[in-house]
Structure 1
Amino acid sequence: MSEQTEATPRDLRRLNVSVVTAALSATGALLVITDAEVWWHALLLAIGLATALFTVNRSATDERLTVLVPGLVVTAVVWAVGILVAETLSASFGPAIVGTLFVQRLPRHRRAATVLLIGLGVVVLAAMPLTLGLSPFELLTHSVATACVAITGSVLTSLVQVMSGLVDELERSRRREADLAVSRERVRFAGDLHDIQGHTLHVVKLKVALARKLLGRDQGRQDRERADRELGEVYELVGDTISRTKELAHAQRRLNLSAELENAGNLFEAAGIRVSVERRNEVDPRVGEILGQVLRETTTNILRHAQAERVRITLTERGISIINDGARTGPVTELRGLAALRARVIDLGGELVVERSDEDFLTEATFPAPGASLSDDSDTVSDITARSWRDAR
C-alpha cells in the first residue's frame, strides 16, 4: 500500500494558524513580562492576549464578523484601561490583532474601518495627559511605543491572511490542473473518435456517390456488379466503424488496469487529494478491463462532483472498490457514465454498487468467481475497503 503524503490545503491552513499563533503568543508573553509592574497589570495584559489568541483561532474556522466583534470589544476595553489607568503601553497588542482580522474580513468599507480604528486609538492616546499628567515629550514617546506594539501585532496577524490567500491559490491551481487533465482525456477521446469515423465517413460518402452514379446509368451488367461491390464495401465499412466506435465508447482500446491506476493517482495528486491503493490479489485478466473502466469513470466523477481529500482504492482478484470523502450533501447526483457501466457489468455477470454514507461515497464493482454467485463471497471488496477506511481514520 502506497500513501500520498502531501499536505492538504486544510492541513496547510491549520499549520499557518498554528505558526502565527505561536509567534503572537511568544511576542505577547514577552510584552506582558517586560511591561507589567504589578500583578494586576500582568493579569490585565494576559486577558487581552488570551482574548486575541482565542479570536485568531476561532476565526480560522468561522469567517463571520460576529465571531470577531466580542474579541474586539474585550481587547479594546483592556487597551483603554491599560493605557489610561495602568500605563501599560503593550496593551495595544490585543486590539491590533483583532482589529486587523476585523478589517480583513470586511467585504467592503475596509478603508473606512481602518480609519475608524486608528481614530479611536488617537482619541485614547490624546486622553493620556488628562489621566496620567504626561508632558508632550512623554506623550510622544508613549504614542510611538504604543504604535510600534500595535504594528507588530498587525503585521504578525496579517500573515494569516497572506498565507491563506496563497493556500487558496494553490488549491485553485491544483483543481485547474485536474480539470485540465480531464479535458486532455476528452480531447484524446475526441481525436480517437475522429480517427475512427472521419476517414470512414468520407470514403462512404464517395462510394455512395459512385454507386448512385452507376445506378443512374442504363445499368449494364458491369455497372450493376460494380455498384453492388461498392455498396457491399460501404456496408462492411459502416459495420467496422460501428464496432470500433463501440470499443472506443467502452474504453476498450489500449485500456490497461495498471495504467488506469497510475493515471488516477496522477490526477488525484494534481488535485491535492491523498490516495492509497491496496492490492489483495492479482486481478483476473478477464475482468481487469471492465474494472479499469469503472476506475476511470469514478476518478472523473470524484474530480468533477466531490470535494474529496482522501481516496482509497482496493483491488481483489475479481473486484474493485473506490471510496472517497467530500461527497456533496443532498440527493445523489445521477452519474450517467456509471449507469451505463452498471448495465455492462450486469451483462458480464457482475454487480456495480454506488452508495453514499454521510460524507463518504463508495463505488464498487464485483464479479463472482467462475461457478460461484456473488453471495458466496464471505469477505467482499467493499468490506475490505470499509475496514481499511475506518483504520485510516
Structure 2
Amino acid sequence: MIDTFSANLSLKAYQDVTRWVYVGVGALFGAIGISAGFVSTTSLRWVGLAAVLTTAIVVLSALLWPRRSRFPLLEIGGLLATAGWISAIWSGAPAATGFALFLPLVYGIATRRPWWPWAASTVFALTAAPLIAGLAGALSADGWLANQLVAMSFLGAQVAVFLSIELGWVVFARMDAHRADENELSLTRERLRFANELHDVQGHTLLAIKLKAELARRSLDRDVDTTRAELAEIERLVAEASVQTRQIANGYRTASLATELANAEKLFHAAGIRAEIEQAPAGLGAWEPLIATAIRESVSNILRHATPTAVTLRFSATSMVIQNDGAAVDRETGGGGGNGLRSLQDRFKERGGDVHWSLDGDVFTLTATRSLEGRIP
C-alpha cells in the first residue's frame, strides 16, 4: 500500500503534504490549548497569551519545514513553553492548555537533530513548574498532581502524532531514494546487456567479414567465382549485422543455436581449421540462446587469439565443451579470461549455470554448464 502510494507521488509533492499536515496538526492542538487557557477562570491571562504565541511559532516553523528560520524562532518558542507551563501550574490552568504550550518542544523533538535538548527541555518544564510554584506557595491546592499527569498524557499523545508525521516523511524519502537507486541499477543493467549483445554480434560479425575479405582477396586472381561468392557473403553479413543491431536496440534479439553452429562451421572452414562440431541435443529450452551466445563468443575468441589447426565442439547432458589447439599463454582468454568470457560467465551464473575455462599447454578448453532440466530459474 505505502509502496504503491509512494510510486504515484513525487518526493516534492509528499514534502508539501507533510508540511501542511504539520501546519494543520499544530494549529489544531494550538486551538485546543488556547481555548483551555482563555476559557479557564483561574488561569492568568498570560497563560492564554503564551499559548497563542507558542502556537503561532510552531505554525510558522511548520510552514518553513523542512527548512529552518534563520532567526531562532523555535528556540524562543521553547522558552515561552517552559515559562507558560510554570504560569499554568502556578495559576491552576487546565491540563489541556499544555496542548498549545508544549507545541514548540514537541515539534523540536520530532524535527530537530539532535532531539535530546528538546526532550530535556520538556522534562525540565514538567518538573520545574510544580517545584517553582510549590516553593513560592502558589500551587493551586488539590488537583495539581492529577492535572500534571493528565498534561503528561496529552504531551505523550502530541509527541506520538508529531513523530508519526516525521517518520512517515523519513520512510517516504528513503523509499524514494531506494526507488531512484533501483532505476539507476536497471539502467546500468540495460547498458551492460546492450554492451554485451553488441559485443557478441558486432565482434563476431566483423571478424567473419575480415576472414571473408581475406579469402576473397586470395581468390581474386585465381578463382573469380569464389571471390564473387565471398563478396556476396560479406554483403549478407553486413545486412545481417544491421538487422541484429536494430534488434538489440529494440531489446528482442535472441540467438539461434542452429545458426551459430552453422556459422561456426563456415568460419572454421574459411580459416582452414579442421572442425568437429556436434549437433545440439534437444531439450535445451530457455538455455538455448545463452548456449548459442557461448558458442559465438568462443568462436570469436579462437579466431582472434589463437592459431588453431583443430577445434572440437561437443555436448553432454548438462554442458557444452569447445576445445582448440594453438592457444597462446598470454592471449586474452588465457589464465584470467577476457572481458567477453567473464561477462558470459556472469550471465550463466545469474541463471544457475557456470562457465569455466582452462589452458593446458596450447590446448584451450571452455565448458559452459547448465541445469539438467534445461530451465532458467
TM-score, reference length from structure 1: 0.47
Instruction: Considering Cα pairs closer than 8 Å and 6+ residues apart, tell me whether 1 or 2 has the greater RCO.
Output: 1
Structure of greater Rg: 2
